[in-house]
Amino acid sequence: MRASLGAIGLAIREVRGDGNCLFRSVSDQLTGSEESHWELRLRAVAFMRAHRDDFEPFVDTDEHDSWEEYLSDMACEGEWGGNMELVALSRAAKVNVCVHQPDAPRWEVTHFSPRRRTIHVSYHDGSHYNSVRLAGDASYRRAAPFRIEGAGASYCECEEPPSDEEDAGGEGPGALDAAAERVRGAVGTEVSLAAAHAALEEAGGDEDGAVAVLAAASGGAPAKPLPAAGKAGKGRGMTRKQAKQARRRAEQAARLASAAAEGDVVEAARAAAGSKGAKRGKFKATASEPAAAAAAAAEGEEVLSASMRVLAI
């Protein structure tokens, strides 16, 4: 692939292969660094959650029991992303995507007109993504734009492409980030840009609604789940799905234990929100009741308010 890309003036910038490679590659394209992979993962999950009908039909039911389980898994660091996440990021960041593959046509996600930015990634051996840049671009700025002419691509196009007026209407990544920054400023607390984006998705793009979501969450930005303990399916005597469920239960138990030890009620509630079969609306606690909060969380009780959904992304 390096030779074929080199022949058209392109080169691969390798990113870490830790299960976050898709998000790291997109991060390099958009920011010049792969370190924003976590924020992009949250953004993809938030977008899919807000546009459920567009994504749920494509969930692999052999791997996931439910839509919510799929989102919960994808919100964990180290969970492999794929075509659905690329489409979600394309639509959320208002960019087109071109995926370069060895001995195969390019796969293009073209939700927007050619005037919009296209980001380029490569897909290797069915298991790893890298960033694709112009040859000689060793900078740590966002990838310089370029266009590839000619055939040899397959396409994923939206059914109703935006009009030229809509496409030029200032709703690109910069405008979306500006809206998120306004939401952060209105809340007046330390809220991450990813949490602001997630709140905007939750509120359907309404800034006042996003402020209300974050205010209800007491300014809590999405807490980072524990790193995934390797790909599921490696446990002896377990199916892939059983191993994944066991890993998730172990992570929740560890978070609950940590929250109980530190008196962190919000973290206990967030951990409980991921418990399968949890009962709606029964988890209620105050800062003076950390032990009760952890106990209630351990029994699978949860808060399903909009604010807790943001925390549980």
Output the pLDDT for position 115.
Answer: 80
125 noted as active-site residue: no
Strands (E) across 77-179 are located at 96-100, 106-110, 118-124, 128-134, 153-157
128 noted as active-site residue: yes
Output the pLDDT for position 257.
Answer: 52
Judge residue 160's burial from the number of C-beta atoms within 10 Å of its C-beta, 0-12 exposed, 13-18 middle, 19 or more buried.
exposed
**Among 21, 28, 37, 197, the one annotated catalytic:** 21
Residue 240 makes CB contacts below 8 A (sequence gap 6+) with: 63, 232, 233
Strand, helix or coil at 13? Answer: strand
Yes or no: domain 2-156 corresponds to CATH 3.90.70.80: yes
**Among 54, 128, 158, 206, the one annotated catalytic:** 128
Strand, helix or coil at 110? Answer: strand
Q: Show me where the domains of the chain are located.
A: 2-156, 169-216, 247-311
Q: What's the one-letter identity of residue 113?
A: S
As a whole number of angstroms, the distance between CA 184 and CA 200 comes to 11
Output the pLDDT for position 1.
Answer: 83
Which residues of the chain carry a pLDDT beneath 50? 151-173, 218-238, 265-266, 268-269, 271-313
As a whole number of angstroms, the distance between CA 313 and CA 229 comes to 19
40 closest CA partner among 31, 53, 50: 31
As a whole number of angstroms, the distance between CA 113 and CA 93 comes to 14
Tens-place pLDDT, residues 86-130: 999 999 999 999 999 988 888 888 888 778 889 999 999 888 999
**Among 18, 65, 164, 208, the one annotated catalytic:** 18
Output the pLDDT for position 195.
Answer: 74
As a whole number of angstroms, the distance between CA 37 and CA 72 comes to 17
Output the pLDDT for position 149.
Answer: 67
18 noted as active-site residue: yes
As a whole number of angstroms, the distance between CA 155 and CA 260 comes to 50
For 124, 156, 192, the CA distances from 101, given in Å and listed in that order, are 7, 15, 34
Output the pLDDT for position 284.
Answer: 32
